[in-house]
Amino acid sequence: MSGDGAVVVAAVEAVADRIQAERDHLTDLDSAIGDADHGGNMARGWAEAAEAVADLADPDAQTAVKTAGKTVLSEVGGAAGPLYGGSLVFASQELEGGVTPETAVAFAETYLEKVQDRGDASVGAGTMVDALTPAVHTFKKSIETDELPPLEALTKAVAAAEAGVQFTVPIRASKGRASYLGWRSVGHQDPGATSTLYIMEELLAVAAGH
């Protein structure tokens, strides 16, 4: 297995474990403002994705990411399936030449674009976009302008995502099921932003370990 592919497989497994551990917490967040299935949706999707990538024989990074995405897409349904899974599939094309700081930035940007495109949500709508946008912006600036080492750039991106999660609390949601609550959505942390942060934390942990 090539180095990059192995990192992706390990990352998907780490995400699956983390999400499983946070399953009830994510469901609780979703029951306050949505339909109480985000924990279950994510846990099922990522567990299957981990199995699927583990079954691949020596995959390159692109194949591993695409397989994980396809599995999430076809397991999850709801809003999360296309957003998490479909965007992974689409963004995986940026990894065709392998994982470099440049392709990682392109991947992150494409992923965010696809999420925004599919979900028609901009920053401040109280969704996962609020976690993703500052993270992707920070990562891109760290690599391209500040020329930081990738691990340091990723660490800063995770901190930015964390700020994004906190940002979802005080604003009124205008996308996702939480939007039906109107002003009652103010004061609630978005489940999708939260799980997005967990995914990034695991990616960082695996990248740091390799």
Partner 1 sequence: MKKLINESDDVVDEMLDGMTAAYPDLRRLPDTQVLVRDDAPVAGKVGVVSGGGSGHEPTHGGYIGDGMLDGAAAGDVFSSPTADEFEALLDATDSGEGVLAVIKNYEGDVMNFETAIEMVEMEGTDVATVVVNDDVAVEDSLYTSGRRGVCGTILVHKAAGAKAAAGADLDEAQRVAQKVVDNTATMGMALTSCVTPEKGEATFDLPDDEIELGIGIHGEPGTERTDVMSADEITEELTEGVLDDLDLDEGQEVVTIVNGMGGTPLMELFVVNRKLQELIGDHGLETWDAWVGDYMTSLDMAGASITVCAVDDELKELLDAPADTPGLTVQ
Ligand X SMILES: Nc1ncnc2c1ncn2[C@@H]1O[C@H](COP(=O)(O)OP(=O)(O)O)[C@@H](O)[C@H]1O
Give the binding site for partner 1 (CB under 8 A).
35-37, 41, 73-83, 86, 118-120, 172-177, 179-182
Asked whether position 44 contacts ligand X by CB under 6 A, the answer is: no
Q: In whole angstroms, how close is the CB of 37 to partner 1 at the nearest point?
A: 6
Nearest CA among 189, 166, 185 for reference residue 177: 185
* Closest-CA residue to 115 (of 149, 164, 61): 164
Nearer to ligand X, 50 or 153 (CB): 50
132 binds ligand X (CB under 6 A): no
Going 167 to 196 to 60 to 4, the CA torsion angle's sign is positive
Is the Cβ of residue 80 or residue 131 nearer to partner 1 in the bound state?
A: 80
140 vs 175 by CB, closer to partner 1:
175
Residue from 38, 114, 140, 175 binding Mg ion (CB under 5 A): 38
Residue with tokens 């999360």: 80
Q: For partner 1, which is the closer residue by CB, 58 or 117?
A: 117
Considering the complex, what minimum distance in angstroms separates the CB of residue 27 from ligand X? 9
Residues 140-179 that bind Mg ion (CB under 5 A): none
Candidate list 13, 75, 94, 190; residue touching ligand X; CB under 6 A: 190
The reply to whether 128 sits near ligand X by the rule CB under 6 A is yes
64 to each of 53, 84, 136, 161, 183, how far by Cα in Å? 6, 15, 21, 24, 41
- Alpha-carbon gap, residue 163 to 51, rounded angstroms: 32
Stretch 53-72: interaction string toward ligand X, x if CB under 6 A? --------------------
State the Cα–Cα distance between residues 48 and 108, nearest whole angstrom. 23
DSSP character string of 86-151: IHHHHHGGGGTT---HHHHHHHHHHHHHHHHHHHT--TTSSSTHHHHHHHHHHHHIIIIIS---HH
Query: Cα–Cα distances in Å, from 160 out to 34, 60, 123, 130?
Result: 25, 29, 13, 10
Is the Cβ of residue 181 or residue 207 nearer to partner 1 in the bound state?
Answer: 181
Residues that bind ligand X (CB under 6 A): 30, 34-35, 37-38, 41, 78-80, 83, 115, 119-121, 127-129, 175-177, 190-193
